[in-house]
Amino acid sequence: VRIGAVAAFAISKVQENLSRGRCPRDDGFFNDGDNRSTAEEISEGVFQAAQKEYEEKKIKYLGNLLGNIAFTPNVTGANANFLIRTAQDLTYRQFCILALIPRAKFYTMRPNDYRGSAIPLETIPILYEITALYNQGLINFGGEVLFGPTDVNPAKMKMQGIGADLYNHMELASIPQSDTDEVAKYLR
């Protein structure tokens, strides 16, 4: 079911890209002579990620990733594999955290870290997920170093590098606002 769903989302994204006038890649991504194409390898990676995925909300975004890579020649096969692996390792709530960052101006985010503060029980796992994003180099805090979850300053979160690539290629901007609201309420 999940493989079918990710395939349907990918097909829908391909059709949307074509209807917008985007051209599929012509850099050998779909045909590598007698060898297995990069497109086949990447598709299999996304399908395997979807098959193992228990957070069904992630499936749409994995489909978007596959459907958008097919139109983005600057994403090499190796980079696409890394994007898939990274997306697979993130939770849906971490997708929401990435989606929250550009929306932060619409929320009142906590303007300082949590050192020396009583932290609500619901906030603690979110701080650990933010710390994991930081440790993977997907987000930063404007040059500040995080030594642990209490160093998180929600108002200073910024996307960087692969975090921004995931945000763009997976179209995390389309995550429902209600889902980012649910994360933001614990970061005030």
Per residue in 68-125, pLDDT tens? 999 999 999 999 999 999 999 999 999 999 999 999 999 999 999 999 999 999 999 9
The answer to whether the beta carbons of residues 45 and 98 sit under 8 Å apart is no
How far is 35 from 116, CA to CA, in rounded Å? 58
What pLDDT sits at residue 160?
Answer: 98
Nearest to 1 by CA among 58, 43, 59: 59
Tokens of 27: 């850099």
Does residue 7 have a pLDDT over 90? Answer: yes
What pLDDT sits at residue 9?
Answer: 97
How far is 48 from 9, CA to CA, in rounded Å? 15
Does residue 57 have a pLDDT over 80? Answer: yes
Q: 147-185 b/e with 16+ CB inside 10 Å = b?
A: eebebbbbebbebeebbbbbbebbbbeebeeebbeebbe
Amino acid (one-letter) located at 80: A
The answer to whether the beta carbons of residues 139 and 63 sit under 8 Å apart is no
Nearest to 156 by CA among 108, 109, 119, 115: 109
Q: pTM of this prediction?
A: 0.94
Amino acid (one-letter) located at 159: M
* Residue 47's pLDDT band (cuts 50, 70, 90): very high
Strand pairing partners for 140? 158
How far is 146 from 86, CA to CA, in rounded Å? 20
Q: 65-88 b/e with 16+ CB inside 10 Å = b?
A: bbbbbbbbeebebeebeebbebbb
